[in-house]
Amino acid sequence: MNGKHTDSLVPILMYHKLDASLRTQVGWQQRLRNPSVLSIKDFDSQMSYLQSQGYRSISLNDFIAYMRGKDTLPGKSIIITFDDGDASHYSMAYPILLKYGLKGTFFVITDAIDSPGSLSLTQMKEMLRNGMAIESHSVTHRLLPSLPKQELMRELRESRKILEEKLGKAVDFFAVPGGIYNSEVITMARKVGYLGMVTSKLGMNDITSDEYCLMRIEVRLGTSLRDFVNLIEGRRLWLKQLRQSMVNAVKKTLRVNNYERIKKGLLRLSER
């Protein structure tokens, strides 16, 4: 498999939790139950592929500078992001990134820092010293459009302030909890001072992209290496975008909480 990445398009990968006990091939029930959990073996294979094919991991700051005409990007640029600040980001993802000379951006929920199963402040400081980036994923990970204006402001402003005070560095980017946002969230992110915002909307980015609606490609449980290559090369993304639009329409109709309850109910029925 030879990379055919179009240099003008920059994929932003999105990961969540890694698990050393998972097999690389899993059934549909497990994919539906924990779609955002990835086996450490799959993640290692993906990072190995990126390194072997000459991909260059860049930061979101690099990409924004490029969008604003202040810098150029290396060929085969890619951005690797992680949401939620899970403990596996330090114990599993971080060593693999170092092994292959890659860097990642980690979006942290500030209320979870130093909690069991989450990144600690000491770990984040070490990751920063070794080329990783730490950015905001809100204070509590609540769905933002449903919040009163004052609470919405707190989720964006306080999470940024807490991280900057604890880490002693600028926090310039925000990842939307649950991928759900509206124009008010975008307006508030600008007002608070973020340089950009990443979403869960599926797609690639280029110099014309909206800095506050940057698209990402989620790498989900059961993604084979061939599927991974197709994703980062933008092949058949339109099919996945169609599926995402259909799921989002169902979620909007049922509301997110009802959608999740129905999904769990279907899983329980299938396991009988």
Q: For 197-224, how does the pLDDT look when each residue is reduced to its tens digit (9 = 90+)?
A: 999 999 999 999 999 999 999 999 888 9
Higher-confidence position of 59 and 271: 59
Structure confidence at residue 43 (pLDDT): 97
User: How does residue 270 score in pLDDT terms, banded at 50, 70 and 90?
Assistant: very low
Residue among 220, 148, 152, 248 at smallest CA distance from 192: 152
Please state, as a whole number, how many other Cβ atoms lie within 10 Å of the Cβ of residue 6. 12
Read off the pLDDT of residues 51-98 as tens digits, 9 standing for 90 and up.
999 999 999 999 999 999 999 999 999 999 999 999 999 999 999 999
CA distance 230 to 56: 17
State the average pLDDT for the chain: 88
C-alpha count within 13 angstroms, C-beta hemisphere, residue 161 = 7
Structure confidence at residue 258 (pLDDT): 58
> In the predicted model, is pLDDT for residue 108 greater than 90?
yes
Find the mean pLDDT for residues 146-150. 95
Structure confidence at residue 250 (pLDDT): 65
User: How does residue 23 score in pLDDT terms, banded at 50, 70 and 90?
Assistant: low
Q: Integer distance in angstroms from the first to the last C-alpha of the chain?
A: 41
Structure confidence at residue 47 (pLDDT): 98
C-alpha count within 13 angstroms, C-beta hemisphere, residue 214 = 28
Structure confidence at residue 25 (pLDDT): 55
User: How does residue 4 score in pLDDT terms, banded at 50, 70 and 90?
Assistant: very low
Read off the pLDDT of residues 24-48 as tens digits, 9 standing for 90 and up.
555 545 545 567 899 999 999 999 9
Helices (H), 130-255: 149-167, 183-192, 225-232, 237-254
Higher-confidence position of 254 and 228: 228
Find the mean pLDDT for residues 120-126. 98
CA distance 177 to 164: 19
User: How does residue 6 score in pLDDT terms, banded at 50, 70 and 90?
Assistant: very low
> In the predicted model, is pLDDT for residue 268 greater than 70?
no
User: How does residue 267 score in pLDDT terms, banded at 50, 70 and 90?
Assistant: very low
Read off the pLDDT of residues 238-263 as tens digits, 9 standing for 90 and up.
677 677 667 666 656 666 565 456 54
Structure confidence at residue 245 (pLDDT): 67
Residue 162 Cα to chain centre, angstroms: 20
Structure confidence at residue 181 (pLDDT): 94
